[in-house]
């Protein structure tokens, strides 16, 4: 599947460097062009000759290794390659990349690179849990670097815990998914809503919520990658907007309702990941509300339209997916929404769990279906959660189209 792809495998100085041999072997068997670059520390674990034999290519071990390489190679390699994977990725290389340090061939090449970079951390649990390392990882994630999380197990240091590098087969699968996205949504039109809504109180104040838009944006991005024609209806968010077919920016719930309703008819699926405000101020003051002498002030709120319920009411063949973010009785509340809103699937997340819901890069959700089935999706990056949700959307779309 990776035939014709050009992949750079960076190997850094950890015991798991031996596993990089299997990764390189697997990628070579897939007929990818593999170029290995090792840090100096990595050469203490595995000899460059091993990688040279497995990749059938020259292995780079130093920035000034030879004129041939030093001349242009860290720039040209960065540009001609399809992806870079660093496995194992030490705490050191992750710290260097996160802080813009380019003091060897690998870190220089990564800095010059515009292609996807996948990092497979491997280290002792204390190193992994160190807040400085965690911060460096977060920095890189926010810049779009990919991480394949380490697993728990017996580590080389004798400890048992998180830090064991993901298996080479997992890394190979990750690269396949990254470089050859499935096109199973080709021909379908999907509308995704994302972010919070904003309900104005007066010209300078508003009511909103903590939604960052990350989950909805991940869904729109992954649906596009899988071939769908995607419309993203988004409330105000501070994160980069994914490249999709149409982006409609809205502020209030009423605006979102209007944007979704006017496009509903032509959609095959609607995924409502936005966190809309249930209530809005009864009156928006024309002028800034002045501070008064009273200790308290009351704000009258009125109910906003329930967009999902409106969509469910007039649903024809569309697949309708809702989200339920709850802080208590998650399954009970989410299940009642399925019936009430005529949904095909609800994605429930428990906001009380660490790393779940608003503003996190990760999420952990339960998928609930009208027939009572449920499926747990463990803590994952939001792009991976999005992919799992879209797998179900594909099933539902196929079922509906088979019935036609
Ligand atoms: C025996 C041994 C094993 C090591 N294993 C790891 C490891 O698994 N992960 C890690 O982050 N660092 C590990 N280190 C530390 C790194 O080798 C060290 O931080 C080095 O500077 C990394 O350089 P590099 O990132 O340029 O390869 C190990 C060091 C030794 C001596």
Question: pLDDT of 48-83, one tens digit each?
Answer: 999 999 999 989 887 666 545 544 565 666 667 899
What does the pLDDT read at residue 74?
59
* Span 96-125, average pLDDT: 94
Of all protein residues, the one whose alpha carbon is nearest to atom 29 of ligand 1 is 14
Residue 41 near ligand 1, beta carbon < 6 Å: yes
Number of domains into which the chain is organized: 2
What does the pLDDT read at residue 355?
67
Does 197 lie in the same domain as 273?
yes
Contact 333, 358 (CB under 8 A): no
With 70 as the cut, is the pLDDT of residue 390 above it?
Answer: yes
With 80 as the cut, is the pLDDT of residue 354 above it?
Answer: no
Q: In whole angstroms, what is the distance from residue 329 CA to residue 35 CA?
A: 52
What does the pLDDT read at residue 76?
65
Residue 342 belongs to domain spanning: 189-285+297-403
Task: Read off the pLDDT of residues 298-309 as tens digits, 9 standing for 90 and up.
Answer: 999 999 999 999
10 Å CB burial of residue 84 (0-12, 13-18, 19+) is: buried
Does 256 lie in the same domain as 122?
no
In a domain, 236, yes or no: yes
In a domain, 155, yes or no: yes
Residue 94 near ligand 1, beta carbon < 6 Å: no
In a domain, 53, yes or no: yes
Task: Read off the pLDDT of residues 244-269 as tens digits, 9 standing for 90 and up.
Answer: 999 999 999 999 999 999 999 999 99
What does the pLDDT read at residue 63?
65
With 90 as the cut, is the pLDDT of residue 155 above it?
Answer: no
Which residues, at least 6 apart from 316, have a Cβ–Cβ distance to it below 8 Å? none
Is residue 151 flagged as an active site residue?
Answer: no
Task: Read off the pLDDT of residues 208-245 as tens digits, 9 standing for 90 and up.
Answer: 999 999 999 999 999 999 999 999 999 999 999 999 99
Does 94 lie in the same domain as 45?
yes
Does 199 lie in the same domain as 172?
no
Does 379 lie in the same domain as 306?
yes
What is the residue-wise DSSP string for 20-74?
HHHHHHHHHHTT-EEEEEE-TGGGGTS-HHHHHHHHTSPPB--TTS-HHHHHHHH
Does 204 lie in the same domain as 339?
yes
Does 139 lie in the same domain as 198?
no
More confident residue, 380 or 239: 239
Q: In whole angstroms, what is the distance from residue 381 CA to residue 383 CA?
A: 5
What does the pLDDT read at residue 67?
47
Structure tokens at 91: 């705490």
In a domain, 94, yes or no: yes
- Tell me phi and psi for residue 199, to 5 degrees: -110, 115
Does 157 lie in the same domain as 49?
yes
10 Å CB burial of residue 227 (0-12, 13-18, 19+) is: middle
- Tell me phi and psi for residue 287, to 5 degrees: -120, 160
Residue 253 near ligand 1, beta carbon < 6 Å: no
What does the pLDDT read at residue 357?
64
Nearest partner of 314 among 347, 266, 265, judged by Cα: 265
Does 194 lie in the same domain as 170?
no
Instruction: Please compute, for residue 347, the number of CA atoms within 13 A of its CA located in the half-sphere on the CB side.
Output: 30
CA of 122 to the centre of ligand 1 (A): 9
Q: What percent of the chain has pLDDT over 70?
A: 94
* Span 82-95, average pLDDT: 97
* Span 288-292, average pLDDT: 93
Ligand 1 atom index nearest CA of 96: 25
Q: At what angle do helices 17-29 and 48-55 cross, to 10 degrees?
A: 10
Does 207 lie in the same domain as 173?
no
Check which CATH number belongs to the domain holding 256 and give it. 3.40.50.10300
CA 155 to chain centre: 28
In this prediction the pTM is 0.63
Does 157 lie in the same domain as 231?
no
Q: What is the DSSP letter of 358?
A: T
3 state SS for 237-306: CCCCCCCCCEEEECCCHHHHHHHHHHHHCCCCEEEECCECCCEEECCCCCCCCCCCCCCCCCCCEEECCC
Q: In whole angstroms, what is the distance from residue 379 CA to residue 142 CA?
A: 18
Q: What percent of the chain has pLDDT over 90?
A: 75
CA of 169 to the centre of ligand 1 (A): 23
CA of 133 to the centre of ligand 1 (A): 14
Per-residue confidence at 382, pLDDT binned at 50, 70, 90? confident
Ligand 1 atom index nearest CA of 16: 8
Residue 202: CB atoms within 10 A of its CB come to 15
Examine residue 205 and say whether the peptide bond preceding it is cis (omega within 30 degrees of 0): no
In a domain, 310, yes or no: yes
Per-residue confidence at 381, pLDDT binned at 50, 70, 90? confident
Specify the 3-state DSSP secondary structure of 345: strand
Specify the 3-state DSSP secondary structure of 359: coil
CA of 327 to the centre of ligand 1 (A): 42
Mutate to test the pocket of ligand 1, among 45, 60, 92, 108 (most ligand atoms within 8 A of CB): 92
Per-residue confidence at 156, pLDDT binned at 50, 70, 90? confident
Does 153 lie in the same domain as 211?
no
CA of 58 to the centre of ligand 1 (A): 23
What does the pLDDT read at residue 160?
81
Ligand 1 atom index nearest CA of 92: 25
Nearest partner of 93 among 124, 63, 120, 61, judged by Cα: 120
With 90 as the cut, is the pLDDT of residue 22 above it?
Answer: yes
* Span 289-297, average pLDDT: 92
Contact 163, 137 (CB under 8 A): no
* Span 332-349, average pLDDT: 91
Check which CATH number belongs to the domain holding 152 and give it. 3.40.50.1950
* Span 158-187, average pLDDT: 91
């Amino acid at each position: 599947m990776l035939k014709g792809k050009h992949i750079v495998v960076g190997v850094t100085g950890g015991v798991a460097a031996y596993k990089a041999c299997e990764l390189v072997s697997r990628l070579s068997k897939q007929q990818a062009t593999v170029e290995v670059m090792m840090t100096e520390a990595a050469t203490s674990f595995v000899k460059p000759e091993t990688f040279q034999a497995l990749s059938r290519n020259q292995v780079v071990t130093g920035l000034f290794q030879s004129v041939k390489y030093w001349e242009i190679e860290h720039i040209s390699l960065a540009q001609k390659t399809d992806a870079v994977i660093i496995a194992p990725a030490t705490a050191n290389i992750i710290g260097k990349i996160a802080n813009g340090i380019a003091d060897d061939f690998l870190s220089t090449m990564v800095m010059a690179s515009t292609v996807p970079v996948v990092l497979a951390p491997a280290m002792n649990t204390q190193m992994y849990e160190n807040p400085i390392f965690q911060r460096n990882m977060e920095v890189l994630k926010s810049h779009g670097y990919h991480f394949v999380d380490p697993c728990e197990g017996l580590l080389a240091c004798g400890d048992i815990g998180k830090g064991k590098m993901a298996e080479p087969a997992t890394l190979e699968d990750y690269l396949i998914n990254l470089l050859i996205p499935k096109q199973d949504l080709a021909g379908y039109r999907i509308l995704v809503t994302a972010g919070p809504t904003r309900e104005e109180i007066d010209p300078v104040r508003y009511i909103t919520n903590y939604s960052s838009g990350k989950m909805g944006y991940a869904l729109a991005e992954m649906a596009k990658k899988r071939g769908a024609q995607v419309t993203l209806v988004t409330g105000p968010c501070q994160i980069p907007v994914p490249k999709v077919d149409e982006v409609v920016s809205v502020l209030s719930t009423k605006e979102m309702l209007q944007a979704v309703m006017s496009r509903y008819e032509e959609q095959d699926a609607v995924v409502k990941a936005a966190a809309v405000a249930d209530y809005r101020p009864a009156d928006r003051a024309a002028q800034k509300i002045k501070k008064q002498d009273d200790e308290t002030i009351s704000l009258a709120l009125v109910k906003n339209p329930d967009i999902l319920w409106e969509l469910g009411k007039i649903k024809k063949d569309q697949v309708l997916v809702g989200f339920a973010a709850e802080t208590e009785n998650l399954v009970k509340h989410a299940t009642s929404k399925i019936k009430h809103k005529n949904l095909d699937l609800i994605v429930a997340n428990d906001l009380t769990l660490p790393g779940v819901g608003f503003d996190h890069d990760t999420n952990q959700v339960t998928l609930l279906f009208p027939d009572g089935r449920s499926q747990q999706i463990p803590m994952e990056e939001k792009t991976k959660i999005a992919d799992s949700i879209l797998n179900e959307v594909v099933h539902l779309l196929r079922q509906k189209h088979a019935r036609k």
